[in-house]
Amino acid sequence: MVLDLRVCFVGESFVAGVGDQKCLGWAGRLAVRAIAAGQPLTYYNLGVRRENSTELAARWEAECAPRLPQGADCRVVISTGVNDTQFEDGRPRVEVEDSVRNLADMLRRVREKGWQAMVVAPPPNVDAEHNARIVDLDARFADLCEEAKVPYLRTHQPLRENQIWMQDVAAGDGYHPGAAGYDEFAALLAPHWLLWLADPGSELPVVR
């Protein structure tokens, strides 16, 4: 058991849990699972709806720093990319190269601060063309995290094949699930999350 464990979840609306009737999202559900497994932690949800990775990169460190003090076991879980790959005015809100650079900069700063990072892949929605762009970014994020030796949980394809997730998203706004969908998201991440809490340097299997 790790004592004085502090975890900041940073990212977009899926981190914030938009659409969840229980107001937990997948991040809150992971915190609940940690407590149930006997691992106390201080959990901070710093998700912002509609935020892209450029906006996230500009604010995450200032928000995490006062919550991750020296002497604690400090972790950051990052999830971004869906809003980057949305089209506005005929182009992505953030170009792929810039998305990768933003994540690389965040991971570099996490390392320099002496914190531990985990990255969770952007999930799917009902738009096939948008999903194709997310898949491309997902692969680039995976390569970056492998090079940086940071755990990367590839959730996109498993959730596209998950009937509960896709039905829940379709029943909502086409992007965000309700409680049932977030249950599926958290269940997919939970084994790797609990292993990372116990040993952040462990070789985590890649979720595919």
The reply to whether 208 falls in a domain is no
The reply to whether 203 falls in a domain is no
Residue 133 Rama label (left phi>0; alpha psi -120 to 50; beta) = alpha
Domain that holds residue 96: 5-198
pLDDT tens digit string along 72-117?
999 999 999 999 999 999 999 999 999 999 999 999 999 999 999 9
The reply to whether 207 falls in a domain is no
The mean pLDDT of the chain is 95
Q: CATH number of the domain that 190 lies in?
A: 3.40.50.1110
Number of domains into which the chain is organized:
1
**Model pTM score:** 0.96
| Average pLDDT over every residue of 52-59 | 98
The reply to whether 31 falls in a domain is yes
The reply to whether 122 falls in a domain is yes
Q: Is the pLDDT of residue 207 over 70?
A: no
Q: Is the pLDDT of residue 208 over 70?
A: no
The reply to whether 206 falls in a domain is no
Contact 43, 202 (CB under 8 A): no
Bridge partner list, 11: 47, 79
Contact 8, 46 (CB under 8 A): yes
Confidence at residue 204, expressed as pLDDT on a 0 to 100 scale:
58
Q: Is the pLDDT of residue 200 over 60?
A: yes
Q: Is the pLDDT of residue 205 over 50?
A: no
The reply to whether 205 falls in a domain is no
Confidence at residue 1, expressed as pLDDT on a 0 to 100 scale:
72
Confidence at residue 56, expressed as pLDDT on a 0 to 100 scale:
98
